[in-house]
Amino acid sequence: MYHILLQGPSILALTFPFNLIFDNMKNIYILAVAAFVLTVTGCTKLDESLNGQIGNGGIGSGNVPALLNASYTAMRNPYQGPWGWWSLQEFPSDEAIVPTRAGDWDDNGAWRALHLHRWAADHSRISDTFRDLNSVSYVATNVLQFNPTAVQGAQARFLRAFAQFSILDGWGQVPYREPGEDVTQPSKVRKAPEEIAYLISELTAIIPNLPDGPAYNANKDAAKVLLMKCYLNKGAFLNRTAPTFDAADMAKVIALADEMISSGKYSLTAKYYDNFAPANDQLSKENIFTAQNIGGSDAGAVKDIWVPGLHYNQNPSGYNGFSTLSDFYNKFEAADSRRGGVYAGMTNVSGIKVGFLVGQQVDQNGANLKDRRGNNLIFTPEVSIIERDPNHLEVAGIRVVKYPIDYANLATNLAENDWVYFRYADVLLMKAEAQLRSNLTAPALVIVNQLRTARGASVFSTLNLDNLLDERGREFFWEGVRRQDLIRFNKFLLPWQEKPADDPKYLVFPIPDNQLSNPNFIQNSGY
Amino acid sequence: MDYFNKTTTDLLFPQIPLVPANAGVTVTWVNLPGKITNKGVELTLNANIIEKADFSFSLGGNATFIKNEVRDIVGVIKTGSLSGQGLSGVTLEVIQDKLPLFAMVTRQYNGLNAQGFSTYTDDGFTYYYLGNPNPSVILGFNANVRYKKLTFNANLNGSLGQEIYNNTANSVLPVSNIGIGKNTTPDLVNSSIQESLANPIASSSRYIENGSYLKLANATIGYSIGNIGTAIKGLNVFVNGQNLFVITKYKGFDPEVNVDKGVNGVPSAGIEYVPYPTARTFNFGVNFSL
């Protein structure tokens, strides 16, 4: 509260100034010929009393549905769009790169550091994502102190487990708080073995209480997919330099997959890109867990999954940044529907196709688009971490449009496409991987070929870890899982296009500098 | 002459919450355990050189030699966010143990290579302490002359040793503006090595400039006419000019600049980003009493 008091003597002065102001354009303005200036001087006394106190974090309401809804909304920051968790999963991988394009995308080398595996403990994208993932964990935990119903409590605990799984994947240690705990105190921290055991017990406990659907709610099958991921990645989270896979864990993965396969609830969507379309909540047969976006009124940053890759002169105008690598693009067969092509409602509006944009770009009438220098806009497969040819700057790199663009809601930037977390295809490929790691190669090959056939690709004659990893790349490219896959397949430190071999310390991210005052964190080794 | 050694403790600082925490609560204000010391010497000299009935002349000057240092701060507090294309999310300054307040920590620029690309120590992946926005000397001079009814006084101020980060040159006037319908500066076109149009826009010591200056802050010539009749008393006419000249090597508009580039309530210092230039102002005035 502020009190302002005017005290003391006041002086009244009269002046008649003639003002001539010379600005630096050397123009002369005669501002005033005569003016009365009333000057009041006095003492000002400021009494300040502080009434604010930060308690347990600002959320104090007992309205459980609103708090649960806030937990879903808190997921948008770290997960939707390419800036948060997605950027940490994709840019350090072999399927995404942000080339520095002269005036664009240097950003203190932050993007290069991700692709080259040169990040440090002050990398702002790493610390912001860590903060935002933990905020999901905090907000979901907070629901639990207001006596939620069993269903509400299970949903909140699922969202918390979902965020903590990402934190475990990224940082190898997970801070947590009890409901209602004082946020000014350091949080407790679970190390990887303790956390993976906690997540498995937590998910197993909440599955009976979760609803059956819809996909945009925390649901039973979503928890089963996350539980599958816990068992499948456990060996990698516990030993990242040499992952091992326990037969009992693989059996759990297979059993959970079979529960969902036998339910008959899901099938592979005939048109792959319908899974990501504006109406994907209606069109997709395989989406298991999504974030609901309501076009034009209530949505996360899903539109940023297409905007940063598009060129300035495309519709919508993009940021001309993100690209994929030609080695990755070349893993696709020409007939593979996942490589993309014309998409109704989009290509006829702007000329932009779904999937991979390479070569001459056109508008909706087929006329060639130009870059800003007036050359034809031809996206090239060649891309460098720093583009050095002025004529190649704007066109370097194949662009990716994973989510069909929602033209109906361009004006508000709030696209209708629901953000996709888990798909049935992942259940199938995780089952195949667990079988392959259990030496059940023949049934695994059947599953992979079933998927490849559905996508229009030729069948494999054999299955091994290499072509299964490639298949996961083709199926889940730009869905924010690639780093986790590369680590589990023990290939994350190998050199690939525009990235040298690197140090094992990069298998986990550093605990951000600004959190090290919490004594329960021990900085990951090497940082 | 004064010697001073001032230690500021219990700095109020917006502490980032320890996760997990609510994203809506960005900061908690705490008193930091560290301190900031300002040590130095202040010299003041005033001389009445001539003091006669109808003529006087006096000169005054002061100089403050100052050294600023942050002590015992744990960790690194980042501030000074830079602006513009290619600089998203980039911060320049730190509050860190054993460095001056708002020390500029950035890439070390080593010039252009033959292809016209910037080169940096360790390819720019390691940042170094390369600039200090705090002056080492603060100067002030004044002169007063009176001859009969005519008076003249002038004030100069200046400060030496501080550095300015020219964010405007960094991101508003880069060489890559050529060809896309924007302006750049002649310096970049008329250099011995032609900078490549593909040279990335990056923050670095290239844009840290010497911000030392001496400025004629104001000067006034007045003539005291006195009383006119019985109605007007103490009539005085004057001409006053402000910001009359600046002596500096700084390439921006005005070295006396500090655009707020604070982060989460932590202020910054010595960053220029498209400020309005300081106006040069002339006043003609008449003063009297009734």
DSSP A78: H
Q: What is the largest CA-CA distance in chain A?
A: 99
Which has the closest alpha carbon to A143: A213, A204, A47, A57? A57
- In-domain check, residue A269: no
Q: Measure the CA–CA gap between A217 and A72, rounded to whole angstroms.
A: 9
Query: Which chain A residue is nearest to residue B286, measuring alpha carbons?
Result: A16
State both tokens at A386. 């720093």
Q: Looking at residue A423, what is its pLDDT? A: 98
- In-domain check, residue A493: no
pLDDT at position B164 over 60:
yes
Of the residues A366, A401, A417, which one is the last residue of a structural domain? A417
Q: 3-state SS of chain B: helix, strand, coil percent to 5?
A: 5, 55, 40
Chain A CB within 8 Å of residue B201 CB: yes
The residues near A469 (Cβ < 8 Å, ≥ 6 apart) are A485, A486, A489, A491
Q: Looking at residue B44, what is its pLDDT? A: 94
Summarize pLDDT for B123-163 with one digit per residue, the tens: 888 899 999 999 999 999 999 999 999 999 999 999 999 99
> Which residues of chain A make contact with B91, given a CB cutoff of 8 A?
124
Q: Measure the CA–CA gap between B148 and B224, rounded to whole angstroms.
A: 9
**For chain A, percent of residues with pLDDT exceeding 90:** 82
For residues B236-262, one letter each, b for 16 or more C-beta atoms within 10 angstroms of the residue's C-beta and e for the rest, the string is: bebebbbbeebebebbbbbbbbebebe
Chain A CB within 8 Å of residue B125 CB: yes
Distance from B21 to chain A by nearest Cα, in Å?
5
Strand partners of residue B5: B39
State both tokens at A148. 């939620």
Summarize pLDDT for A44-80 with one digit per residue, the tens: 555 555 444 444 444 455 799 999 999 999 999 999 9
Distance from B169 to chain A by nearest Cα, in Å?
12
Q: Measure the CA–CA gap between A489 and A94, rounded to whole angstroms.
A: 13
Query: Which chain A residue is nearest to residue B198, measuring alpha carbons?
Result: A102
Distance from B140 to chain A by nearest Cα, in Å?
25
pLDDT (average), residues A338-348: 97
Chain B CB within 8 Å of residue A395 CB: no
Query: In this structure, are strands A399-401 and A354-357 parallel, antiparallel, or unpaired?
Result: antiparallel
Is the ipTM beyond the 0.85 threshold? no
Task: Note the Cα A347 to chain centre separation in Å.
Answer: 26
**Structural domain containing residue A381:** 293-417
> Which residues of chain B make contact with A132, given a CB cutoff of 8 A?
23
Question: Average pLDDT over chain A, rounded to whole?
Answer: 90
Distance from B84 to chain A by nearest Cα, in Å?
9
Alpha helices in A415-476 (DSSP H): 424-437, 441-454, 465-476
Residues B212, B215, B217, CA angle at the centre, nearest 5°? Answer: 145
> Which residues of chain B make contact with A372, given a CB cutoff of 8 A?
179-180
Q: Looking at residue B219, what is its pLDDT? A: 96
Q: Measure the CA–CA gap between B276 and B290, rounded to whole angstroms.
A: 40
Of residues A14 and A158, more confidently modeled = A158
Chain B CB within 8 Å of residue A104 CB: yes
Chain A CB within 8 Å of residue B21 CB: yes
Distance from B286 to chain A by nearest Cα, in Å?
6
Q: Are B201 and B170 in contact (CB under 8 A)?
A: yes
Q: Looking at residue A45, what is its pLDDT? A: 53
For residues B188, A310, A82 and A298, what is the CA-based torsion angle, rounded to 10 degrees? 120
> Which residues of chain A make contact with B200, given a CB cutoff of 8 A?
100-103, 105-106, 386
Q: Measure the CA–CA gap between A176 and A303, rounded to whole angstroms.
A: 31
Q: Looking at residue B263, what is its pLDDT? A: 87
Q: Name the residue type at position A312.
A: Y
Nearest CB partner across the interface for B23, out of A74, A106, A373: A74
> Which residues of chain A make contact with B20, given a CB cutoff of 8 A?
134-135, 137-138, 141, 175-177, 183, 187
Strand partners of residue A357: A399
**C-alpha distances in angstroms, A183 versus A55, A56, A71, A140, B18?**
8, 6, 17, 14, 7
Q: Measure the CA–CA gap between A125 and A170, rounded to whole angstroms.
A: 12
Is the Cβ pair A175, B75 closer than 8 Å? no
Of the residues A417, A433, A458, which one is the last residue of a structural domain? A417
Summarize pLDDT for B11-52 with one digit per residue, the tens: 887 777 788 988 666 567 788 888 899 999 999 999 999 999
Summarize pLDDT for A455-480 with one digit per residue, the tens: 999 999 999 999 999 999 999 999 99
Nearest CB partner across the interface for B283, out of A19, A57, A142: A19
pLDDT at position A33 over 70:
no
Distance from B71 to chain A by nearest Cα, in Å?
17
- In-domain check, residue A463: no
State both tokens at B119. 């080169």
Q: Is B86 exposed, middle or buried (0-12, 13-18, 19+ CB in 10 A)?
A: buried
Which has the closest alpha carbon to A291: A283, A299, A304? A299
- In-domain check, residue A93: no
Which chain B residues in 92-111 lie under 8 Å from chain A, judged by CB atoms?
A: none
Which has the closest alpha carbon to A275: A208, A354, A157, A359? A354
Chain A CB within 8 Å of residue B277 CB: yes
Is the Cβ pair B283, A17 closer than 8 Å? yes
Summarize pLDDT for B210-233 with one digit per residue, the tens: 999 999 999 999 999 988 888 888
Number of CB pairs, chain A paired with chain B, less than 8 A apart: 172
The residues near A260 (Cβ < 8 Å, ≥ 6 apart) are A221, A224, A225, A266, A288, A424, A427
Alpha helices in chain B (DSSP H): 167-171, 186-189
Each domain of chain B, given as residue ranges in start order, spans 42-289
Which chain A residues in 40-79 lie under 8 Å from chain B, judged by CB atoms?
A: 54, 57-59, 74, 77
Distance from A322 to chain B by nearest Cα, in Å?
14
Chain B CB within 8 Å of residue A501 CB: no
The residues near B103 (Cβ < 8 Å, ≥ 6 apart) are B93, B94, B95, B96, B129, B131, B132
- Radius of gyration, CA atoms only, chain A: 27
Which chain A residues in 278-337 lie under 8 Å from chain B, judged by CB atoms?
A: none
**For chain B, percent of residues with pLDDT exceeding 90:** 62
Q: Measure the CA–CA gap between A57 and A283, rounded to whole angstroms.
A: 40
- In-domain check, residue A84: no
> Which residues of chain A make contact with B220, given a CB cutoff of 8 A?
none
Which has the closest alpha carbon to B6: B96, B66, B72? B66
> Which residues of chain A make contact with B90, given a CB cutoff of 8 A?
107-108
Chain B CB within 8 Å of residue A503 CB: no
Of residues A37 and A262, more confidently modeled = A262
- In-domain check, residue A356: yes
Q: Is A272 exposed, middle or buried (0-12, 13-18, 19+ CB in 10 A)?
A: buried
- In-domain check, residue A475: no
Chain A CB within 8 Å of residue B73 CB: no
Summarize pLDDT for A104-114 with one digit per residue, the tens: 898 888 999 99
pLDDT at position A406 over 90:
yes
Query: In this structure, are strands B28-31 and B35-51 parallel, antiparallel, or unpaired?
Result: unpaired
Strand partners of residue B213: B159, B248
Question: Average pLDDT over chain B, rounded to whole?
Answer: 90
Is the Cβ pair B88, A107 closer than 8 Å? yes
Q: Measure the CA–CA gap between A386 and A97, rounded to whole angstroms.
A: 11
> Which residues of chain A make contact with B238, given a CB cutoff of 8 A?
none
- Structurally, how many domains does chain A consist of? 2
